[in-house]
Amino acid sequence: MLRKRRDDMNEKQLQLFIELASQRSFSQTAYQLNVSQSTVTKQLQSLEHELGSPLIQRQTVSLTEEGVMVYEKAQSLLTDWQQLRSVCQSRGNKYTETLRVGASTTPGTYFLPSLCKECHYHYPNWRLHLHIEDSSTVLSLLTEKEIDVAIVGVPTEQSNIVSKKFQSDRLAIIAPPGENQHEIDGFSDLPSHAFVKRPQASGTYQAVETGLKQWGGSLAELETAAIVPNTESLLSLVEAGIGYGFLSEYALNAALKRDCVFKGILPYERQFYLAYRKENQEKETIKAFRKLAETRT
């Protein structure tokens, strides 16, 4: 014998009811929730059937007496449920939590792997989605809500983004294998060489420009041998003898292993920043990731 399925009240029904009570419009509610108007009507009818009472006056789209009571309770229930779900997920229950992390190329190569290892150890049920781009692109992804947290080489002044210092770094000058060991300590030693450069949107480019400015020069005054998207490409071209290059001090060991020659350090210490949207600063995953990152500073 078949039994008729019971329409159990669920979270989406309550969210829809709260939205409808706030908008006082079936069409506007459908638009806000990206569903059809008929879906709004059916979900409301299902909720009313489950509770055994009309909740919305159809002509005026206003709350009935029972609707007012349900509206107040529904808000409280949803808040409690969302907090409970967040706490349980942060404690590592069987459900996964997705964290989308963006990083510019230097922290993405030298900081993020060990940070991901820490995340996996402390929160084995997290699912990490990683995006490695230049700083400008990563910050755009954060603003557009394509990622949840970012590690970049430039700060942001956007009022809706929190940006905290994460790590410091210096920029090294390297030369192709076989070059002399004489260290460069001023801009006058640089214009006689061609350079493998990073794109202007990268944090490394901006940091190099700041360092050269303290020496009284700029990247525009240096011959461009090539422009490359990341540190690995820069290392390969310098190793091949295409030109000199500027890179993170964290990448210096990798350069020396390729027999590139260390030529000096620019007179500027740059910062890497941990950034996230203000609206998410109390989210459990963001707080946990931030805490793990802060242990590295």
How confident is the model at residue 226, as a pLDDT? 97
Q: Characterize 239-249 residue by residue with b for buried, 16 or more Cβ atoms within 10 angstroms of its Cβ, and e for exposed.
A: beebbbbbbbb
Same domain, 106 and 232: no
How confident is the model at residue 5, as a pLDDT? 41
Residue 5 lies in a domain: no
Q: 202: domain range? A: 169-269
Using only C-alpha atoms, the chain has a radius of gyration, in whole angstroms, of 27
In terms of DSSP H, where are the helices of 163-226?
203-214
Q: Characterize 216-226 residue by residue with b for buried, 16 or more Cβ atoms within 10 angstroms of its Cβ, and e for exposed.
A: ebebeebeebe
Predicted confidence pLDDT, tens digits, the chain (297 residues)? 334 444 455 778 888 999 999 889 999 988 888 888 998 999 899 888 888 889 999 889 899 999 899 898 888 888 877 777 666 666 555 447 889 999 998 999 888 999 999 998 888 888 999 999 988 899 999 999 999 999 998 888 888 999 999 899 999 999 999 999 899 999 999 999 999 999 998 889 999 999 999 999 999 999 999 999 889 999 999 999 999 999 999 999 999 999 999 999 999 999 999 999 999 998 889 999 999 998 865
How confident is the model at residue 7, as a pLDDT? 44
- In this structure, what DSSP letter does residue 251 have? G
Please check whether residue 138 is in contact with residue 104, taking contact to mean a CB–CB distance below 8 angstroms. yes
* Number of Cβ within a 10 Å radius of residue 215: 17
* 55-102 residue pLDDT tens: 999 889 899 999 899 898 888 888 877 777 666 666 555 447 889 999
* 171-203 residue pLDDT tens: 999 999 999 989 999 999 999 999 999 999 888
Residue 1 lies in a domain: no
- In this structure, what DSSP letter does residue 222 have? S
Same domain, 157 and 175: no
Residue 6 lies in a domain: no
Instruction: Supply angle C-alpha 163, 297, 101, rounded to 5.
Output: 50
Q: Are strands 126-132 and 261-277 parallel, antiparallel or unpaired?
A: unpaired
Q: The whole model's pTM is what?
A: 0.62
Residue 31 lies in a domain: yes
Residue 4 lies in a domain: no
Tell me which of 90, 107, 138 is where a domain ends.
90
What does the alpha-carbon distance between residue 1 and residue 9 come to, in Å, rounded to a whole number? 24
Same domain, 112 and 65: no
How confident is the model at residue 186, as a pLDDT? 96
Same domain, 179 and 228: yes
Tell me which of 73, 90, 107 is where a domain ends.
90
Same domain, 236 and 181: yes
Q: How many domains in the chain?
A: 3
Q: What is the CATH number of the domain that holds 228?
A: 3.40.190.10
Same domain, 142 and 286: yes
Q: What is the CATH number of the domain that holds 79?
A: 1.10.10.10
How confident is the model at residue 225, as a pLDDT? 98
Bridge-partner residues for 245, per DSSP?
174, 196
